[in-house]
């Protein structure tokens, strides 16, 4: 009996499984004819991870933050065409500054309701401010509230922010981050990170959470209490989790997904040939760079070890300056050499080859869509000029081995990148080829995340190829001031000068936008001259859509921001519950 049961059991299981009811995962179903986009229907968006939290003040993931921006309201919405500069009404229908700009008054919508039916009032705004500034929570954005003294509520529909001084980013600071309900106040702030908020969500947005299946998907449904509920497009939005980009792309090609937020160049090429798909290229706030280490590699780590800094120590900007003076990098301390390296890299070729033109060469770490960006001609690919600069700096190939040298030291650089980022790996390999052509020998280091983070922040490499996703604030001081190099900070190359520090301080403390713009302009000119980083490109993003989905151009700040404005063609099987 045992001998016959096993195969029979397996066959029966298989037969039952195949005969089981179908659903949207049936790849063999014939496509129904597409009708014009209209309200209703279901949109399926690929995601690569679960939300790590359900409040804006406990998440550490940008993908989760994007989702939470749909569920919780901000006072105003940033205009993607002019981020950080122009805003449109959202929870606040209007706002105004007092004459001395020390008070910012928001008039809230009277029809804004939380998903539990209670009205959204100034009490929620004030509560949110208290949470944001509570040290027990330790929200990283609390620094943006330092110049806000408090929030007053003269009426339930009016919120007044009091500032200690006037400065350009007041509206940005007041608007950072979304408003959460006063009802969350029954949980002590210190317990927020451990609280299972998904069991008790109270939201206010075009969508609310209908279902959350960890490791599988999050389903959003229209919130009928939202102030513009009639204008909402899809009935449901499913954020379907895939283990990796490749399997998500495969599902997209198969027609199981409506939206694929991000694809590689090869995937873009493939998707562009599929008649049922379309791809939109949008700018992003991300850029890729090579940070040059201006301090001798390992000198920083050795100095910290000498001062017993394994678990933090009293490191100061003076320590960094001391290292810059006493242990300059034998090759990269020279701005002329850094310029030569920049001129050796064909960044236009990188943009065309790796990004199919969907990226932008830049020489500034302030993103081109931000108000403070200074448009200046980018350094052109000029290997002849690069060779000349290297010759002048004394780097000459004396032994004919193809690599330049000086005083017996070869012009050899260890440049590292994170191995888990294929595009950056490709970029670095191309950069290495370009530099080799002018006599610079590059050792490409592809490091796992832990090793990369440890060594990059210890400044153990000669160069680090990495990227940042910037926000809409202009904050180069967080990356380039001497203070940003202290204690393994994000100033990866350890570069700074008194002039740069002074300009960064002027820009970050300016009381008017004009004053700030002057400082940032001067600083960007200095940056372009000194080239502590070779900025490679501002990258765009390809977003794939099924042709069933019709809507506005994707918002570069948050793809999910316009979910409610999408329209979906109706297909019977896709919309089946």
- At its nearest, how many Å lie between another protein and the CB of residue 138? 5
| 253 vs 265 by CB, closer to another protein | 253
* 102 three-state secondary structure: coil
| 251 vs 543 by CB, closer to another protein | 251
Helices (H), 195-244: none
| Dihedral sign computed on CA atoms, order 453, 459, 462, 466 | positive
283 touches 556 (CB < 8 A): yes
- At its nearest, how many Å lie between another protein and the CB of residue 20? 3
How many Å is the maximal CA-CA distance in the chain?
91
- At its nearest, how many Å lie between another protein and the CB of residue 317? 13
- At its nearest, how many Å lie between another protein and the CB of residue 123? 26
- At its nearest, how many Å lie between another protein and the CB of residue 48? 10
436 touches 428 (CB < 8 A): no
Give the Cα-Cα-Cα angle 149, 151, 153 (nearest 5 degrees): 150
403 touches 438 (CB < 8 A): no
Helices (H), 404-497: 422-437, 449-457, 477-480
| 113 vs 424 by CB, closer to another protein | 424
| 389 vs 484 by CB, closer to another protein | 484
Rounded to the nearest 10 degrees, how much is the dihedral formed by the CA atoms of 9, 10, 15, 16? 60
- At its nearest, how many Å lie between another protein and the CB of residue 246? 11
d(CA 208, CA 115): 7
CA distances to 271, 285, 488, 552 from 556, in Å: 20, 8, 31, 12
End-to-end Cα spacing for the chain = 42
Structure tokens at 234: 């899809």
- At its nearest, how many Å lie between another protein and the CB of residue 518? 23
> If you search the block for the tokens 């490499």, which residue do you land on?
461
| 19 vs 36 by CB, closer to another protein | 19
| 179 vs 238 by CB, closer to another protein | 238
- At its nearest, how many Å lie between another protein and the CB of residue 572? 12
> If you search the block for the tokens 């994170």, which residue do you land on?
418
Structure tokens at 327: 């242990």
Helices (H), 204-361: 245-253, 265-271, 299-306, 317-326, 335-344, 347-355
279 touches 271 (CB < 8 A): yes
| 348 vs 486 by CB, closer to another protein | 486
Angle between helices 422-437 and 347-355 (to 10 degrees): 150
424 touches 417 (CB < 8 A): yes
- At its nearest, how many Å lie between another protein and the CB of residue 250? 8
Structure tokens at 27: 């790849």
| 454 vs 565 by CB, closer to another protein | 454
| 471 vs 554 by CB, closer to another protein | 471
- At its nearest, how many Å lie between another protein and the CB of residue 475? 7
Rounded to the nearest 10 degrees, how much is the dihedral formed by the CA atoms of 434, 480, 456, 356? -40
| 88 vs 199 by CB, closer to another protein | 199
Q: Is 378 exposed, middle or buried (0-12, 13-18, 19+ CB in 10 A)?
A: middle
- At its nearest, how many Å lie between another protein and the CB of residue 41? 12
| 157 vs 508 by CB, closer to another protein | 508
CA distances to 237, 242, 574 from 247, in Å: 20, 6, 19
């Amino acid at each position: 009996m045992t001998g016959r049961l096993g195969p029979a059991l397996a066959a029966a299981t298989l037969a039952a499984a195949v005969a089981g009811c179908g659903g949207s995962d049936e790849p063999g179903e014939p496509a129904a004819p597409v009708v014009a986009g209209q309200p209703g229907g279901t949109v399926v968006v690929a995601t690569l991870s679960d939300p790590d939290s359900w409040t804006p003040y406990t998440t550490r993931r940008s993908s989760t933050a994007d989702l939470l921006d749909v569920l919780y309201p901000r006072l105003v919405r940033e205009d993607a065409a002019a981020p950080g500069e122009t805003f449109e009404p959202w929870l606040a229908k209007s706002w105004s500054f007092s004459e001395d700009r020390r008070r910012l008054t928001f008039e809230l919508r009277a029809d804004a309701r939380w998903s539990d039916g209670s009205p959204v009032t100034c009490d929620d705004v004030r509560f949110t401010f208290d949470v944001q500034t509570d040290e027990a929570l330790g929200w990283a954005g609390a620094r943006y509230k330092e110049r806000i003294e408090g929030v007053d509520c003269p009426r339930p529909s009016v919120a007044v922010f009091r500032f200690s001084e006037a400065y350009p980013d007041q509206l940005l600071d007041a608007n950072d981050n979304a408003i959460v309900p006063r009802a969350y106040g029954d949980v002590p702030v210190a317990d927020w990170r451990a609280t299972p908020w998904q069991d008790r969500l109270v939201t206010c947005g075009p969508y609310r959470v209908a279902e959350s299946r960890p490791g599988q998907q999050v389903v959003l449904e229209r919130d009928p209490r939202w102030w513009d509920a009639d204008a909402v497009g899809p009935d449901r939005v499913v954020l379907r989790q895939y283990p990796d980009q490749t399997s998500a792309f495969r599902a997209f090609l198969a027609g199981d997904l409506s939206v694929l937020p991000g694809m590689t160049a090869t995937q873009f090429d493939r998707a562009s040939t599929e008649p049922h798909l379309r791809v939109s290229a949008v700018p992003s706030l991300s850029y890729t760079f090579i940070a040059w280490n201006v301090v001798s590699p390992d000198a920083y780590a050795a100095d910290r070890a000498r001062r017993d800094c394994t678990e933090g120590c009293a490191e100061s900007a003076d320590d960094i300056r001391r290292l810059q003076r006493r242990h300059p990098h034998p090759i990269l301390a020279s701005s002329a050499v850094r310029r030569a390296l920049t001129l050796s890299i064909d960044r236009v070729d990188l943009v065309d080859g790796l990004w199919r033109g969907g990226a932008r060469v830049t020489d500034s770490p302030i993103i081109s869509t931000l108000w403070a960006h200074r448009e200046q001609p980018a350094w052109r690919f000029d290997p002849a000029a690069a060779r000349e600069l290297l010759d002048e700096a004394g780097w000459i190939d004396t032994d004919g081995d193809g690599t330049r040298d000086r005083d017996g030291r070869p012009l050899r650089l260890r440049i590292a990148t994170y191995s888990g980022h294929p595009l950056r790996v490709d970029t670095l390999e191309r950069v290495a080829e370009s530099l080799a052509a002018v006599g610079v020998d590059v050792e490409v280091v592809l490091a796992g995340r832990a090793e990369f983070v440890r060594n990059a922040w210890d400044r153990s490499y000669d160069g680090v190829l990495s990227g940042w996703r910037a926000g809409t604030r202009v904050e180069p001081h967080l990356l380039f001031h001497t203070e940003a190099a202290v204690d393994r900070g994000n100033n990866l190359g350890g570069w700074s000068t008194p002039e740069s520090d002074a300009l960064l301080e002027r820009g970050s403390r300016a009381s008017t936008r004009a004053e700030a713009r002057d400082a940032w302009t001067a600083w960007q000119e200095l940056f372009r001259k000194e080239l502590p980083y070779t900025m490679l490109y501002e990258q765009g993003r390809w977003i794939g859509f099924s042709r069933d989905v019709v809507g506005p151009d994707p918002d570069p700040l948050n793809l999910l921001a316009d979910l409610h404005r999408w329209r979906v063609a109706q297909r019977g099987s896709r919309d089946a519950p």
